[in-house]
Chain A
Amino acid sequence: MRKIGLLAAGVAALGMALGQANVIKIATQSPLSGPQAALGEQIKLGAELAIEEAKAKFKALGFDLVLVPYDDQANPDVGVANANRIINDPDILGVVGHLNSGVAIPSSEVYARVNLVMVSPANTNPRVTDRKLPNVNRICGRDDVQGPVGAEYAFNNLKVKNVFVIHDKTAYGQGLAEEFKKRLEALGGKAVAFVGTEETSNFVPIINQIRAARPVPELIYFGGIYSQIGPFVKQLRERGVKTRLMGGDGLDASEFVRLAGKENAAGTFYTTVAGPVSAFPKAKAVAQRFKQKYGKDMEGFGIYAYDSANVILAALEAAIKAAGGKKPTREQVAQAVRQVKMEGLTGTIEFDDKGDNKKAKYFVMQVASTGNWADNKLIRVIEMAAPGAK
């Protein structure tokens, strides 16, 4: 027992010794393997690009800037285990991540133990910031605004009154669908049905309900992820149901077209919190550098990750100056992040007292008939403030 204690103390001492005075690390956490890796990789590469570009500036301040990517596998357990490793590396002063709210929420509680700041490019669940943790921030929008944005577009612009609402029973999908339904009914529309399903292959019972629903639904709203909505749409259209379809940012993936089939996916509406490159004129040059460096197109989450990393870098710079050129503490960095006011690629970034961006952008998109995700039509950009804490 005593030997183990000694060993632990030794390892801890080693850890301290390894904390170097002139190295500052920034971590990313996102899924880099598994089905959501395509989205997670954008987060890693977006942050990496921002850090590469800031290296020279920090060298002048006397610091080596390093990116340390972690793979959370879209799994809360893995995310928390990584978070524990991250807080034990004293050089890590900021985290860009995560992709999934379900992973971000427990992981951010680990970061909170040491006041390590997290800036999220992608987590939309209201609870991420509603817990009022001083270290948790996001620059993207929230589901309790995204759902209503969809409802308002459907009611006011598509002139739709009766909507068949489906959700996937997860915190994300059901939350989104509930917010959609609430606003739709406040506007004077009607949710013909509100149905949850965990089904991934046989959607026939729901399709039959849609066919039998009275009044006839003019729109189907599905709060869920592309992996479920894709096969659903395929079966729906195969059965000759032509009702229009809308979803949230869970649909914002080119995989949707592959699973649903090009002709079935065309025309689907979706709202998203991470707009495409075409929505941000300022992102064009960065997207070119991204493509040159990584040989891949920069997508929405890449842009948001680039901005998230820049928020942390701006805060770091301010904190270094405030500390008289010395390496700041994690707490100082977290406080500095809340003070940041900057113009990012995605617009003005400034946090309220919960860590939400004071004004986030929401996008209404429509899937193109070409099957190429980059061709999707940007219909509308809505800028809206986050609601006050409940």
Chain B
Amino acid sequence: MLEQILALLPQVIFDGLILGFVYAMVALGYTMVYGVLELINFAHSEIFMIGAVVGVEVFRYLAPHVGNGFLLLLLALILGGVVAGITAILVERFAYRPLRKRGTTNRLVPLITAIGVSFILQDLVRLIEGLWHNEFFLRMRTVEDLEGSVSLLGGAIFAQTKSFILMGVSILMLVGLTYLVNRTKLGVAIRAVAQDLPTASLMGIDPDRIISRTFLIGGSLGGVAGVLFALQYTTITPYVGFLPGIKAFTAAVLGGIGNIPGAMLGGLVLGQLENFFGTYLPILTNGNFGTEYKDVVAFLILIFILLVRPQGLLGQVVKEKV
């Protein structure tokens, strides 16, 4: 048994890392919106799905015309990010802002709106794809350049080119976002609005604009993650966002919601847990518990971590705002 576990361990860690980066990228969107509005934007999982669908469509239509796979991917990432970002802005503008303007203080109202928006987006995409291609399962086209793979550590790890792309892009995104939030004027404004919205608006910041931009940034990160997800796992449906969305939200909470490096860390931890138990549960329990219980075990561990450290791994205990 131990021999079996050790033989696979490098591969399991590597695969968990890739899955973790996907969760991490999506978690960034949850954490940013929560940081600014204290709103759990459940529609973010559908923003992610929209990115994936755009990625599939870009590959479908441009692959015959663009010879270079990397250029094609770059186009898909840009378009996926832009479309997802715009969708996020629209969602904020038409679903959340009216509630905010009306001064709804009940936290549950925007939450329920978010859930509703997420259903609307799912069925909207289903409708469009149904009318357009009469397809429900969208398949990512195979492009030669991106299909390469290498063996690492003497064959212990099977790694695909696209896995490295996924990791590279997500690290870039984290670094870029950290820089943006900490070093730029927009970042200062976002942090100011997060700290105290009414006061920030007295200091000459237009909070609506900042909130809109926060949604744009979070949404496009989600869209880029969606494109990479589609590239990695190839088949996309309008409902594909739900589970990664829930898990990314969990990752954001695990890392300390509102905390950007925390979201990244939470995603990586969750990816490792899920992949570890997905692979080893049947071996560890002698076949009594199969892969189907991977999420149960992973979430049990998460609940335990949060019992010990309720503010999340990198989160701070929330202080009264001054």
Contact = CB atoms under 8 A, between A and B. Distances in A.
Contacts of B158: 239-240
Contacts of A212: 4, 7-8, 279, 283
B8 A211 contact: yes
Contact of A197 (B11, B12, B19, B292): B292
B251 to A, nearest CB: 15
A231 B234 contact: yes
B4 A208 contact: no
A196 B291 contact: yes
Contact of A230 (B11, B137, B236, B291): B137
B291 A197 contact: yes
Contact of B233 (A169, A201, A205): A201
A358 to B, nearest CB: 37
Given A202-B233, A204-B275, A195 B292 contact: yes
Majority SS at the chain B contact face: helix
B18 to A, nearest CB: 8
A258 interface: yes
A265 to B, nearest CB: 12
Given A194-B290, A195-B290, A197-B291, A205 B235 contact: no
Interface in B221-239: 229, 233-237
B104 interface: no
A205 B4 CA distance: 14
Contacts of A205: 12, 15, 274-275, 278-279, 291, 294
Interface of B: 4, 7-8, 11-12, 15, 19, 130, 134, 136-137, 139, 142, 147, 149, 158, 160, 229, 233-237, 240, 274-275, 278-279, 282-283, 287, 290-292, 294
Given A196-B292, A211-B11, A212-B7, 14 more contacts: A193-B290, A194-B287, A201-B235, A202-B19, A206-B278, A209-B283, A212-B4, A214-B4, A230-B137, A234-B234, A234-B235, A239-B158, A258-B139, A259-B139
List the 4 closest pairs (A to B, CB-CB), nearest first: A205-B278, A35-B136, A201-B233, A231-B235
21 contacts: A34-B136, A195-B282, A198-B292, A204-B278, A205-B274, A205-B278, A205-B279, A208-B15, A209-B283, A211-B11, A212-B4, A212-B7, A212-B279, A214-B4, A227-B136, A234-B234, A235-B233, A239-B158, A259-B137, A259-B139, A259-B235
